[in-house]
Amino acid sequence: MRSFTTVCLWAYYIYQASAAAVADFRSSLNAAGIQAVFPGDPDYADSSRAFNRRFTFSPVAVTYPTSANQVADVVKLGTAYNYKIVARSGGHSYVANGLGGANGALVVDLKGLSQITVSSNTATIGTGNRLGDVALALNDHGRAIPHGTCPYVGIGGHSSYGGFGFTSRMWGLTLDTVTSMDVVLANGTIATLSETQSPDLFWAMRGAGGSYGIVTSITVNTFQAPASAMVFEYMWQFSASAAANAASAFQQFVQGTDLPREFDSEFTISKGNSPGTVTLQFVGGWYGPQDQFNAVVSPYLAQLPRPSSSKFTPGSYINSVAYLAGGDSLNVHDKPDGTDTFYAKSLMTPENSPISLTALNAFMSYMGNEGYNTNLNWFVQMELYGGRNSAINSVAPDATAFGKRDALWTIQFYASSPNWAPPYPSSGFTFLDNMVNSIISNSPADWNYGAYANYIDNRLSNWQQIYYGSHYQQLRQLKQTYDPNNVFSFPLGIEE
């Protein structure tokens, strides 16, 4: 049995060896001209801060390459020193996977890869860009792509795992626009992937990209920006049963109507004014001729009571993007990104088996009662993916690694701590788990639901099936081929 002194000496020698290795690694990066921040450096706390402050991780270093060649150098050096490596595009991973999801990872921050080149109907976008950068640069050329609403989200992760926004029923997910990409592989080589160049890996990268390589740029098909756009908002204070009926009626409306692709929407549900009630907001974008909007939505609205408020914001397409981003400037360089302390979950519900009225009643009742009594800051977004003419679901199920092409809704469940700062209360996990279970437990035993990887949940036990479905085994085989040593490793990444 080792004495206490022996154990202390052993730990000291391990520490000294580790410290020497880190010093050598720093010197190697310096020799390659690559900027990096290490523990103890003045910028380390800011460089290693997670968007979700529920997580605190300490990377071995955060590197800032400025070219694909430098990214390749970081990967080669990192593997030589046996570090696990992870890319960070915008840093908005819900579980801090951009920091490796654990202590000791080597972070490759891509903010130095910020070029955007627009040519005719395509654009090549460096993965250091945020969504606000992309929207503004494309709009300067009258072009656009589908993407989410938060301007600070990085295009790299967004396009690797999905990319939903209010133009997605019209144009698809962000990853559906990608025609090729430049990727640094686990062996440090740079490859261009497309349908004709390493098509198997190109398939995997569009749905599970972070597990196979570091994308340094994507080339996308762009779309002519709509001539006009209108954001619509309706709000009700509903009893739980009335809210359930409103959601059920909308499901029937969507499935029974030749709903134009130019329409997309979501229900945002939040705390009501009294126990047993919820606030229901019906919000979305209309990208067709403005004089045709009422004819599209009036058959549904006619089934509901008069809203407590309604608002219509017409204007240019880029104005609608800014408005849906919260009305702030899309220039993400004007002010720093914010943080939050939260837990999130998701459900992707099957189009051929809509949420039953029984499940909707249980769900709305839970939010009307438990949601009213909690001190958490919570909301739920029921995002419309499906319905007739949906570009998301028109893509063949096996065309990309994205796991679910038959969803009617993608639902995001989100709860922040009472003051949006640490610590996160354990009751928050139970609150959201039970909210999701109010739907699942009142649905058929064989209900073919999924979840959305961009709303990643590190407490999801059956994530392989829920995120990737039938694609997971193929993804695992490709992991063994392209990253057999699991260089790109993080929680809920594809297993080797």
Interatomic CA distance for residues 294 and 96, integer angstroms: 42
Dihedral, 250, 256, 257, 261 alpha carbons, nearest 10: 80
Give how far Cα 253 sits from Cα of 249, 297, 299, 387, Å: 6, 9, 8, 9
Q: Indicate the helix (H) or strand (E) that contains 373.
A: helix 357-373
Give 173-205 pLDDT, tens digit per residue: 999 999 999 999 999 999 999 999 999 999 999
CB atoms within 10 A of CB 347: 23
Per-residue pLDDT tens digits for 89-107: 999 999 999 999 999 999 9
Q: Is the pLDDT of residue 9 over 90?
A: no
Q: Identify the helix (H) or strand (E) that includes residue 116.
A: strand 116-119
283-315: pLDDT as tens digits: 999 999 999 999 999 999 999 999 999 999 999
Mean pLDDT, residues 48-72: 98
Cα gap 149→153, rounded to integer Å: 9
* 29-45: average pLDDT: 97
Per the prediction, the chain carries an average pLDDT of 95
pLDDT, position 10: 41
In the structure, what pLDDT confidence band is assigned to residue 7 with cuts at 50, 70 and 90?
Answer: very low
| CATH architecture, domain defined by 116-225 | 2-Layer Sandwich (3.30)
> Strands, DSSP E only, in 320-458?
342-350, 377-384, 407-416
So what's the pLDDT on residue 496? 85
The average pLDDT across 406-433 equals 98
* Dihedral, 133, 135, 140, 145 alpha carbons, nearest 10: 140
Phi, psi for residue 103 in degrees, rounded to 5? -70, 150
Mean local confidence (pLDDT), 320-341: 92
Q: What is the pLDDT of residue 12?
A: 42
Q: Which residues are catalytic?
A: 455
Q: How much is the pLDDT for 211? A: 98
What does CATH list as the number for 229-470? Answer: 3.40.462.20
Domain locations along the chain: 32-109, 116-225, 229-470
Whether 32-109 and 229-470 share one fold: the answer is no
DSSP code of residue 130: B
How many angstroms from the chain centroid is the CA of residue 44? 25
Q: Which residue has the higher pLDDT, 5 or 490?
A: 490
Helix 293-301 to helix 240-256 angle (10° resolution) is 130
Q: What CA–CA distance (Å, rounded) separates 299 from 418?
A: 39
Identify whether the C-beta of residue 65 lies closer than 8 Å to the C-beta of residue 113: yes
Q: How confident is the model at residue 16 (pLDDT cuts 50, 70, 90)?
A: very low
CATH hierarchy code of domain 32-109: 3.30.43.10
Tokens linked to 38: 């290490």
Phi, psi of 251 (to 5 degrees): -55, -45
What is the pTM for the complete model shown?
Answer: 0.95
With residue 223 as reference, give the H or E element that holds it.
strand 223-224
Q: Which run of H or E residues covers position 118?
A: strand 116-119
Q: What was the pLDDT predicted at 256?
A: 95
| Neighbour tally for 373: CB within 10 Å | 11
Q: Determine the average pLDDT of the residues in 205-218.
A: 98
pLDDT tens per residue, range 117-140:
999 999 999 999 999 999 999 999
pLDDT at 15: 44
Would you place residue 18 in the very low, low, confident or very high pLDDT band (cuts 50, 70, 90)?
Answer: confident
pLDDT for the residue numbered 6? 53
Rounded CA gap, 496 and 494, in Å? 7
SS3 state at 217:
strand
Name residues whose C-beta falls within 8 Å of residue 318's C-beta, 6 or more positions apart in sequence: 135, 136, 139, 225, 330
